[in-house]
Chain A
Amino acid sequence: MRTTRILTAALLAGAALFTTAGAAVADTPGPSPSASSGDTPTEAGTGFRTATAIEQGQKATASASTGDYLYWQFPAGANQRPTVKATVQLPEASLRHGAATWQLDVFDGLRRHQACASGEPTQRAGAQDASVTLTCTLRTVRPWSERWANDPLPGAYYIRLTVADGPDQDHGLPVKTEVRADAKDVGGSRAEGGEVAPLHAAALKEPEDGWNGSWWSDRWAWTVGGAVLGALAAIGGYTLTRHPHRFRRPPAGR
């Protein structure tokens, strides 16, 4: 009888731990999808030095000429997987001379080109298309990496949008562009240790969870849950050897 009580208590404690863990996950603010305070940027920079700072989840627009190189920068913290989406409203089809390829590049704070793990960073716009949409999802930002690696690290990320290939006669024609950078929290499976100072992030606002992500990850729940389970199993094993009769059927006649 006592064993059952102990067991229930332990199980309850374990359950409580897991549920509070869940609540904590829900409480931690996400990467702020709608933190667009103030005006949205309506200009783009023309180089790394002049890149316009945008926030995560903020829609930035800019009018430009075909052939311009447009630069923006956005912040990303550890354990986030940023996705950049750019839409280009092409010049009137009657003014254009053919198809053109548009390209979206993402660089980290050290101006190192970052690979797009998924998405479509280059698109060919047909001669009659009105707009073209480009996307790029980076690898997960890590809080630390070896100095030889070019893994994404917390800090600034530069977006460069331009026409990569197209008829020369079309250069200089007006286009309207729109970019937006979002980030998804990847969760405990990628929670890592270590810390580096954010890369070139002086002009940017720190993400909600800080540059190095929150200390919380579901690894805490798994590890503590595992410890509780181990303790319960130990108690169970001990009881099994010490009071084996309790686990047998009561003898007939009682």
Chain B
Amino acid sequence: MLKIENLHVSIDDKEILKGLSLDVKRGEIHAIMGPNGSGKSTLSSVIAGSEDYEVVKGNIFYNDENIEDLSAEERANKGIFMSFQYPVEIPGITVTNFIKTAINSNLKARGEKEMPAGDMLKKIREKSKLLEIDSKFLSRSLNEGFSGGEKKRNEIFQMAMLEPSLAILDETDSGLDIDALKIVANGVNKLKNDDNAIIIITHYQRLLDYILPDFVHVLQDGKITKSGDKSLALELEEKGYDWI
């Protein structure tokens, strides 16, 4: 589904990713772990289509299509989703109206009809229940004044609504207390199926206690230096990154 080959990425002439390769197949969960400044967030932003970064070398294939020239919205329309580490506050638009706009934009871009209001409402109700989101929360301005945990929960709510094929969760566990972490993880697990894939980018292994990855990769200085299974995460937790 996602194939990254020898990816080199710079921002302001500073090279951050230095030849990263990754192969994610349908139905898989990959965790990418690494110390601060190793390029984790750059990787998620680049996959999502941020224009702040420059791809110097290498390729990103999504469903066998080179997506380098696609804009962020085109990537999203094709089913790529990123849960933001720092979701942006947008006063003046409610959570509900935002998600309605997003869903219909994606449908329109795929040449499909807009979702009927009744179906939309039903889906919103169903998915907000999954993430234990209160209906009052849905009529608040998007992310404005939300706590860290509320922001993250709202990201996963959006993921649940948009049903992406590839979801990248960028530090979704940061700012979550243990209860919220469980709710978010439970939500993600329920959304997981054989047709989609998830990349979890994280600092700590605690989220991986709840969402079990098929593969764990270590990202260090812009490259993946080690890959393994779930046990690698535990080893990292215990020993840190220096031993690799």
Asked if chains A and B come from one complex, the reply is: no
A residues neighboring B (CB under 8 Å): none
B residues neighboring A (CB under 8 Å): none
